[in-house]
Structure formats: C-alpha cells, structure tokens
Amino acid sequence: MGFDSFIGNAPAVASLRRMLTAGRWPNSLILAGPLGIGKHTLASMAARALNCLDDEALAAGDFCGMCANCRRIAPVESPESDEEFAKLLSARAKMRAEDRRERPLMFSTHPDVIAFLPDGPLRQISIDQARLLKEHAQFLPASARRRVMIVDEAERMDAAAANSMLKILEEPPETTALILTAGNYYELLPTIRSRGIPLHLSPAAESDVERFLAARSEMSAADRKLAAHLSEGCPGRALGLDLEVARKQRRDAAEWLVSLAARAGAKPNYEDVMARTEGLARGEDNLETVVAILYSIVEDLLHLRAGRPPLRNVELESTLKPLAARVDWAWLERASQRLDQLQRNLRRNANRQLALEGLAAILAG
Ligand SMILES: [Zn+2]
C-alpha cells in the first residue's frame, strides 16, 4: 500500500514524491487529466502522504496505508462513480437554491481532509463553497499535520468563486495544502492556472488497466480486456462501463460490414448505407463511438488478412475471419485511412452530417 498502487503515470507520481521528500510541497497543486484517470485517488494519496505517521514511509515520500491517519483518510477514490454520492449530488441538484447556499456541499472522510465538488443543477463550484473552503483552510489541523482542501473539477468554478479564491491559492496557511483537480487544464481560468503547480496525468497502458480490474473487480479476463480497451487508459472509467451495450454495438457494426461485403460486386446502395450509418450512430455522441468501432474492426481485418489473430475484437473472430478473406487489401487500406481521417475530424467537431456522408461514401465504395 502506497503510491505504488496508483495505476500508470509513474513520472507524475515520481515528481509528487520528490516534492514530498524535498519538503517543497507547493501552495497549490493542480492535478489535470481526463475523467476516471485517478485525479481524486492521487489527491487522496497525497493527503495521506502529507499526514502519514510512519517514519520509513515518510522518508521515502510515501504513505504506509496502515497508521491511524492513513486509515482515517479513507480513499474517496472516485466520488463521481460512487452510487451513494451520485444520489446525493442529484438530490442537491433539485434542492432550492437558498437551501443549497445555506449548506454548501463539502465532503470529508477525515476532519482534516475536505473535498469540494461541483454542486447544483449547473454543477459548479460556487462562491459559497469557496467561502467555506477559505474558512476551513484557516483552522488548525485536528489530528493531522496538514489540512488538505481538495477542489474537484476546478474548471467548474464560476468567476466569483475563482476570484474569491485567488489569495488563498497563492498563500494558504502553512498548515493547509490545497489540491485542485481539472479535467481540462486549459479550461481553468488563467488566474487559477498561474497560482498552482500542475501535474498532468495521461492515459495508463491497457495492460495496467487490466491488472487494476483484476485486483478490483470480478470481471472475466475477456471483460477486463474489453473494458481496458474502451476506457482509453482511465481505470476509473473502466470500472463503470456497460460492456453489454458495448458488445452489442460491436456485433451490429461487424454484421453490417459482413452484409455489405456479401453484396460486393453489386455496388451497395449509398442511401441504404447512409440509413444504416444513421441507425448505428443513434444520438449525438454515438457517431464518434461508431467510427472508433469500425476503425477497430478494419484494423482487425488487416490483422486477419496478414494471418494474425484480431487485436481489438477477439470475440468477433468467427464473424470477421470470412469477411477478411472476402474484402481486398486496397479497400481495407482505403477504409482505414479514411476512418482515421474521420476520427480526427470528429474530434475537431466537424459537421456531423458531412462526417456521416463521408463514412457512408467510404463503406459504399
Ligand atoms: Zn500512514
């Protein structure tokens, strides 16, 4: 138990530990990275490392996980995925604004470690929460060495909250450490960014996420592989995925490609392809997912043609194998290049209709 149990991001963890051993903990630390990457887990680990009672662990810039402080600073690993907490947040979103103002949301597993999470229907860090944070930051620790104030999703601070926090971010009391987390570092207000030391967390390797799932869930090996792949290197996301939905989307996409290939020679009808694409990509966010699935299938077809097993869609091998034998290299390469291009365009928010038409053209050609 200690920083070694954090999944991925060894360089970021190493710099955090150097700050601890050198006694140069920043006034404000900013942990930035995508949802589910482990920002809150790392913040909670830092809170334990700042307060651990074990000399050996301390000397190594680590925490023991077993002393009274470590145990009491329970890991609030991912409050967002925690069911109870999600319920609390949705109840608060429905509360009258005055009631919310009277009792600003804060979340604590230890009297000296307090997290502030976006609250209300707009999911914002409010000025009332900022005021409460400033008040709590002044208290002396009850049983810890340092009080740790965590602001989750700090990019969701409104301007009033941000302004009222500037001074404390720059000069917190010596007995208080401030940790901000952000899904997107560049969405933080520049005045906030300039007052903190950032640590950027990037996606973990799929094999690391698989190992994490093996330790933390009852998932089968096949489920772990799929979840790790779909999580894009974010362990927290991997835990909360609906794998049945994901599998169905994959089967549908593969069956569709098979039915297209079956009619090869008789040129597929463009309108028909367009309608099927629309069908697969029901809903606004789904197009990107469908394109990613098709891309992964085309990649697997390339592997199969080269006599290698599929890399991404192991479960679809029996469907994909005959398909790989039927389509030609040129089609596969063209499809893979264009899907790659399409993925990049979608990330830049290209026009959805144009993207759909492009996709239909690839598959019909
Ligand atoms: Zn400890």
Residues of the chain with pLDDT under 70: 75-83, 261-270, 280-285, 349-350, 352, 363-365
Cα 193 to middle of ligand 1, angstroms? 31
* pLDDT confidence of residue 313: 83
Cα 234 to middle of ligand 1, angstroms? 26
Cα 139 to middle of ligand 1, angstroms? 22
Cα 26 to middle of ligand 1, angstroms? 21
Token pair recorded at residue 109: 């597993």
What pTM, to 2 d.p., does this model score?
Answer: 0.77
Cβ–Cβ under 8 Å, residues 178 and 28: yes
Cα 45 to middle of ligand 1, angstroms? 10
Cα 62 to middle of ligand 1, angstroms? 8
Cα 73 to middle of ligand 1, angstroms? 9
Cα 3 to middle of ligand 1, angstroms? 12
Cβ–Cβ under 8 Å, residues 36 and 231: yes
The number of beta carbons lying within 10 Å of the beta carbon of residue 120 is 18
Closest CA to 40 of 113, 145, 112: 113
Closest CA to 152 of 281, 43, 294, 4: 43
* pLDDT confidence of residue 77: 53
* pLDDT confidence of residue 98: 87
- Between CA 11 and CA 51, with CA 40 as vertex, the angle to 5 degrees is 80
Helices (H) and strands (E) in the chain, counts: 18, 6
Q: Is the dihedral of CA 109, 115, 116, 121 positive or negative?
A: negative
Residue 123, SS3 per DSSP: coil
Cα 76 to middle of ligand 1, angstroms? 16
| Max Cα distance, the chain (Å) | 78
Cα 64 to middle of ligand 1, angstroms? 4
* CATH fold of 3-202: Rossmann fold (3.40.50)
* pLDDT confidence of residue 230: 86
Cα 246 to middle of ligand 1, angstroms? 40
Cα 23 to middle of ligand 1, angstroms? 17
Cβ–Cβ under 8 Å, residues 119 and 126: yes
The number of beta carbons lying within 10 Å of the beta carbon of residue 21 is 13
What is the C-alpha to C-alpha distance for residues 143 and 140, in angstroms, rounded to an integer? 9
* pLDDT confidence of residue 342: 80
Residues at Cβ < 5 Å from ligand 1 ion? 52, 54, 63-64, 67, 70
* pLDDT confidence of residue 263: 62
Cα 58 to middle of ligand 1, angstroms? 8
* pLDDT confidence of residue 262: 65
Per DSSP bridges, beta strands 176-182 and 147-151 are: parallel
Cα 259 to middle of ligand 1, angstroms? 59
